[in-house]
Every structure is written in structure tokens, then in C-alpha cells.
Chain A
Amino acid sequence: MKQLSDRIVAKLQAEMQVPDLAGTRYSVVRHLARGGMGSVWLADDTVLNRRVALKVLDLVTPADDLGALLLREARILAGLEHPGIVPVHDAGTLVDGRAFYCMKYVEGQTLVQHIAGKNLSEKLRLLERIAEPLDFAHARGFIHRDLKPENIMIGAFGEVLVMDWGLAKVAAAGRKPTEDGISMVVTDTQDSSRLTGQGSVLGTPGYMSPEQARGGNEVDHRTDIFSLGALLAFMLTGISSGEAPTSTRAVPRPLRAICEKAMATDPNDRYQSAQEMAADTVRYLSSEPVLAYPEGWFERVGRIYARHRTAIVLVGAYLLMRVFFILFARR
């Protein structure tokens, strides 16, 4: 029997994970990331001569529920055509039995990398951009259920993408009217409850709503609002809600209130849409009253001053000049 060194064993072990792309138009370039049920690989599309990302199921789980789950994720993504959701190009099964799908390769940074050194205003603008695709998905009956910093990518040209819809749930079946007037048939050809483990806990601690953590059936799109609130709290403090509590004094009170409202235990107390929450952060940026925060008169004066600073300074200066003029004119 040939003796294999530790180095060769480690190399073979790594090579065995590389998906067998024989018979496809793709060739592997390198490993990008690992998820719960598979890995994402950078690959070359040899027909169109472009870089793509392949999400491939783990080797040992062919042709079973996880394969169906991966295909389901691909179908969800294919049904969500939005600049903030990574587009899917292709899906299928490899010769070794593994399910895969091909999507756009996003070159960029994760949210964690991107927000380092960014100011408050930039972070809030980012939240607004994250809320857009989320709101779009909610309008079409999909719930992400795993919104967290690792699943937000910021592309090289500043495009914000919500990734990893593997745990997504179809909120309702049937024709869903949307705000833009386009109707879309929301169907789940697979039994989503079975595939996504209804009754079991799916999600990421620290970003998962209480109702989702209970593993119940009552989860709706407001579970993503909770996660969006946790995401905002993370962007403001650098700490996820699951970690040890930290001082939030540095965070302005209205923004704290926005986080608290989004992360309310009762979904009825939260913002009822991602756009509603984003609008409140935009109000804060524009020095307008934030719906989540009942301000005192002193804070109101401060906010009004901040909003109309130039006009107030000009009027004040004018009034001061008038007073001086009147006083000197009398002499």
C-alpha cells in the first residue's frame, strides 16, 4: 500500500471537494466561501468567457432534500429580478450527483469590511439600499430569514446585494399584486416547509427574531424587519445583538429608537415594512422627526436648528444687525 504523507493527504482531501465540472461549460478557478450545505466556487464560463460563481452542494448529499433545497434557492433568486439581488444564470446537477447553480460573481466586500471607516450618514444610506431589495422580495411574498452582515455584499461600483437566500420562505402562495402594478405568481413547487425545516430553528442567533427562534409557523416578513434592525444596530455599534451588551451612548437616541422599534418582540410593534424603517432613517438624516422617537421640546429645537442652520444664522445675523443699527441710530 502506498504511504501517503500528511501533506499529500491534506492535498487529496482538498482536491476531493473540488466539484467535477465535466460536461458543463464551467471550469473551477478557486474556492470562495463555505455555507451550511455547500460551497461557492469562482469559475470560468468558457462559452461566454466571463467569471461566475457556482454554488455547489456538498459531495455527500446528492439527490436528496438538500439538492432540492439548492434548486429551490436558485428558483427563488431567478424569480427576484432586482439590482440588489444577485442574478442566477443556470442550475443543474453535476456528473458526481451534486446539485449546483450558477450566479453572477460579485467582486467586492462584505458589509463588515465595507463599513470600516464609514461615517454615520454613509451607514444609514447603506441601510436604505439594503432595505430596497428586501422590500421588493417581501412584496413578492418571499422572506429572507437569514439577514446578517455576512450576507450583504457591496460590489466594486457600490452596488449593494442581499445574498444567500437558502433559508428563504414563501410567505404566501398565489398571485401577489405588487406596488409597481406587476403581478407575479408565487409558487413553491417543492414543499418549502419540509425543505426549509418548518418547525425547526433556522437562522443566525443575534439576527433572528424571537418568533423565528421559537421555530414556529407564525413567521412573516416582519422577521426580516427584526434582522434589519439588528443589522442597523451592528452597523452603529459594531456589535451584533447576540453578543455582550455594549454602551450605546455614542448612538444618537432617535437611531437607538429605530433599532428598538425594528427589534420589538411583538411583530405588531415593529415597522411593518423595510421601506418604512428605511424612511425613518432617511428622516433622521434630513433632521426630520423620526416616527419611532417622541422627542422633547429641547431636542426638537436642536433638530430644527440643525435642519435650518443656515437660514437661522442668516436671520439671526440680520436681526442682530438691525438691533445694532437701531441702537447706533438713536445716538
Chain B
Amino acid sequence: MPSVTSQAGLFPLTRHSVLLAAQSDDPVARSLAIEAIAIAYWRPVYKYVRMKWNINREDAADFTQEFFTHRLEKEFLNSYDSRKGRLRTFLRTCADRLFMNQMRDCKRLKRGGSSPHFSLDFEQAERELATVPSSESPEARFDKEWVRSLFALGLQRLRASCESGGKMIHFELFELYDLEEDDPKPSYSQLAAKFGLATTDVTNYLAFARREFRRCVLDQLREMTATDQEFRREAQALLGVDIR
């Protein structure tokens, strides 16, 4: 059973390698690439089918496993053409197609049974789903989950980069100041006192962490897209928003 957390961050990725590897002839590279895609997209797919097709959590979990462990590689990925659309739109369409095929052919969702599957935290996904506003469309949720996955993976990269660079204080400051829900936030001087730093160091460390986080997210995005053009289009969608 491959674990989605065990190899995340260790996948030997180069620019655009995930999509290329997923379509390659090397079974090991392909398997790792599918896993990387699953890590980034299982939450969007799970929540999307739960909302769009109104199926129960067990069926949605089975469907998600089936989608990423079997169907994606065998039926769909080889037909992906980045010139025709974004990967995330393609995956959402594939999920719809698989769901409708299964409903038509079997009248029930196929169960994964004892076949290999990814270790995915559906319980956590369910808790998150409970907080989604009922007015939100499944497509909008899919896109939001995609952004969330991307940022979470970017965060993993940032942690790994800070660890290897001996800059864990930078990462911890970033976590405390930028990722915590606490309101009000701790002030820079409070953080400085907590970590035994000067306030200016807190400012500089946070600026470094934010810069690195941005780089990590864009690197992650670059690997999850097939071409430069798609990368730019996705990055525009991710970042090209009015900031209020």
C-alpha cells in the first residue's frame, strides 16, 4: 500500500516531470508520478464527487481510490493533451466520466476490495467538507481544494528546504505568524521574545520564509503542469486575483 505521505517530497522531480513521467513507459516512474498526482488531487476529486453526485462517504472514498489507483493510469492519462485544456479540468471531467460509466454499467460504485490503494485521510476530508457553505458549487470547491493541496505541498517543500538549510526557526515563525488561525496574531516583538531574536530578525526571517514559500508553490505548480503555457495559465488563475 503506497502511502501518500511517505514519498511526498522525495519524488525525484524535474521541471514538468510529473506529467511526462505519468505518460512514460517506465512503470516505476509512472507509479510515482500517479502517486504525486493523487497527493495533489485526491481531496478535490473526493469532495467534488461528494458534492456533485451526492454520494455517501464510503462510496466517495471507494470511487476516489479506484480513480487514482486504477483508472487514471489505465484509461485517462494517456489521452491528456495539455494543448486542449488544464490538467485539473481534465481530471474533473475524467472523474465525471468514470462516475457516469460506473453508474451506467454496474448501477453501483465499484469497491476497491483488497487491491492496492493509497492511504488517504478521508475522515479529515469529511471534517473539512462539513464546513463548506451549502451555496458553493462542486466545481468551485474542486478548484479551491486544488489550491489548498498545492499550498499544502508547497508548505511541505518549504519545511524540507528549511530543515536541510538549518533554517527551522524561519519555518516555525512562518507557521506561527502566517498559518495559525489565532486572532489576534502574536506581534513581531512577542515572537522575537519567544525565539530569543531581535524584532528585525523576525521581520527578515518571515520575509525569507514567505519568499521561499512562494518559490516552493510555483515549483510545485510547475511540476504539476505539462507545459510552460499551462503553468502560466494556472499560475494566473492561482495568483491573478484582485487583492483586497
Interface residues of chain A, those whose CB is within 8 Å of chain B, are 1-9, 11-18, 20, 22, 31, 34, 39, 58-61, 95-96
Of B5, B218, B244, which contacts A60 at CB under 8 A?
B218
Q: Which residue of B lies closest to A38 (CB)?
A: B240
Residues 128 to 184 of chain B near chain A (Cβ within 8 Å): 128, 131, 144, 147-148, 151-153, 155-156, 175, 178-179, 181
| Per-residue interface assignment for chain B, residues 195 to 236, with 1 indicating a CB less than 8 Å from any chain A CB and 0 otherwise | 000000000000100110110011000000000000110011
Q: Is the CB of B144 within 8 A of A2?
A: no
Q: Which B residues lie within 8 Å of A34 (CB)? A: 242-243
Q: Is the CB of B178 within 8 A of A12?
A: yes
Task: Tally chain B residues at the interface, Cβ within 8 Å.
Answer: 35
Tell me, in angstroms, the Cα distance from A60 to B156 when the chains sit together: 21
Q: Is the CB of A59 within 8 A of B239?
A: yes
Q: Which A residues lie within 8 Å of B211 (CB)? A: 20, 22, 95-96
Tell me, in angstroms, the Cα distance from A20 to B238 when the chains sit together: 18
Q: Is the CB of B128 within 8 A of A3?
A: yes
Q: A31-B243, A59-B239 are in contact. Are A9 and B147 (CB under 8 A)?
A: yes
Judged by DSSP, the binding face of B is helix
Q: Is the CB of A60 within 8 A of B147?
A: no
Q: Is the CB of A9 within 8 A of B239?
A: no
Q: A2-B155, A12-B151, A60-B218 are in contact. Are A7 and B181 (CB under 8 A)?
A: yes
Q: Can you add 10 more A-B contacts, CB < 8 Å, to A2-B175, A9-B148, A15-B178? A: A1-B8, A1-B155, A2-B179, A13-B241, A14-B241, A17-B241, A20-B211, A34-B242, A60-B231, A60-B235
Q: Which B residues lie within 8 Å of A7 (CB)? A: 181
Tell me, in angstroms, the Cα distance from A14 to B238 when the chains sit together: 10
Interface check B124, CB cutoff 8 A? yes
Closest CB in chain B relative to A35 CB, distance in Å: 11
Tell me, in angstroms, the Cα distance from A3 to B153 when the chains sit together: 11
Closest CB in chain A relative to B161 CB, distance in Å: 15
Q: Is the CB of A59 within 8 A of B218?
A: yes
Q: Is the CB of A61 within 8 A of B232?
A: yes
Closest CB in chain B relative to A162 CB, distance in Å: 24
Of A4, A13, A95, which contacts B152 at CB under 8 A?
A4
Q: Is the CB of B232 within 8 A of A60?
A: yes
Of B131, B175, B231, B239, which contacts A17 at CB under 8 A?
B239
Closest CB in chain B relative to A134 CB, distance in Å: 29
Q: Is the CB of A16 within 8 A of B217?
A: yes
Of A3, A4, A8, A15, which contacts B210 at CB under 8 A?
A15
Q: Is the CB of A8 within 8 A of B179?
A: yes
Q: Which A residues lie within 8 Å of B152 (CB)? A: 1-4
Q: Is the CB of A8 within 8 A of B243?
A: no
Q: Which B residues lie within 8 Å of A9 (CB)? A: 144, 147-148, 151
Closest CB in chain A relative to B83 CB, distance in Å: 19
